[in-house]
Amino acid sequence: MHRLGVFGGTFDPVHNGHLAAAVNARRALALDRVLVVPARDPWQKQDRRLAPVEDRLAMLEAAFDGVDGVEVSRLELDRPGPTYTADSVEELHAARPEDEIFLIVGADAASDLETWDRPEVMRDFTTIVIVSRADIAEPGAPGPRWRVEHVRIPPLAISSTDLRRRAAAGDPLEGLMPPAAIRCLRERGLYADRG
Ligand code: ATP
Ligand code: MG
């Protein structure tokens, strides 16, 4: 039996908060590995234009290259239509029913878990791992039958929203994203056209 972490997100772009969340969740819960799963077309972000998923994936691969026990996954890349975490959880569970799945979410995402599509899939097939996020109050369990763990990381007031703004303005990204991911972002000219 494997203890499998699943860390989904838009990663538009990946940043040091994501790195800290993934490795600290792995450590705190003794996870055998963590899958970092970029959403191709996140249903909660239908109103905004995202960087192409292959660019987001390339930055993620650069960011997590050489990080022990963490793998970037293509699980949500080929599924048509809006991306739902419930589909991914069901797929992972069906592929390896003996694994124990830990769904890693930041405190902001954790507070609206019950509004996600088919929340009972997350409740019944995963343990939710809530990672602290700077300036965000930590929610409790979404309901009585949920399994929840909490992981505290040093507060990193970093967000992809701020990084997109910085990239568009030509402001420095150093210290906020892994250097290899910054190189990838710059080589591909990402976010240059956003104001
Ligand atoms: P955006 O500003 O575009 O929403 P984001 O920085 O919130 O981007 P997401 O891709 O939305 O990044 O987040 C993926 C996951 O990582 C979510 O569960 C989110 O809560 C978590 N996360 C993001 N930033 C941090 C951070 N600084 N500390 C802890 N968790 C974080
Ligand atoms: Mg977010």
- CA pair distance 66, 68, nearest whole angstrom: 6
Ligand 1 mutation pick, 160, 161, 162, 194, max ligand atoms within 8 A of CB: 160
pLDDT band at 47 (very low <50, low <70, confident <90, very high): confident
SS3 assignment, position 193: coil
pLDDT tens for each residue of 51-82: 999 999 999 999 999 999 999 999 999 899 99
What CATH architecture is 3-194? 3-Layer(aba) Sandwich (3.40)
Q: Is 9 in the pocket of ligand 1 (CB under 6 A)?
A: yes
Q: Is 11 in the pocket of ligand 1 (CB under 6 A)?
A: yes
Q: Whose CA is nearest to atom 25 of ligand 1?
A: 17
**C-alpha 9 – ligand 2 centre gap (Å):** 7
- CA pair distance 88, 41, nearest whole angstrom: 13
- CA pair distance 108, 178, nearest whole angstrom: 22
Q: Is 13 in the pocket of ligand 1 (CB under 6 A)?
A: no
pLDDT tens for each residue of 111-166: 989 899 999 999 999 999 999 999 999 898 888 999 999 999 999 999 999 999 99
Beta bridge partners of residue 103, listed in sequence order: 6, 128
Query: Which atom of ligand 1 is nearest to 104's Cα?
Result: 18
Q: Whose CA is nearest to atom 17 of ligand 1?
A: 106
Q: What is the pTM of this model?
A: 0.97
Query: Which atom of ligand 1 is nearest to 107's Cα?
Result: 20
- CA pair distance 5, 37, nearest whole angstrom: 10
- CA pair distance 109, 106, nearest whole angstrom: 5
- CA pair distance 195, 184, nearest whole angstrom: 20
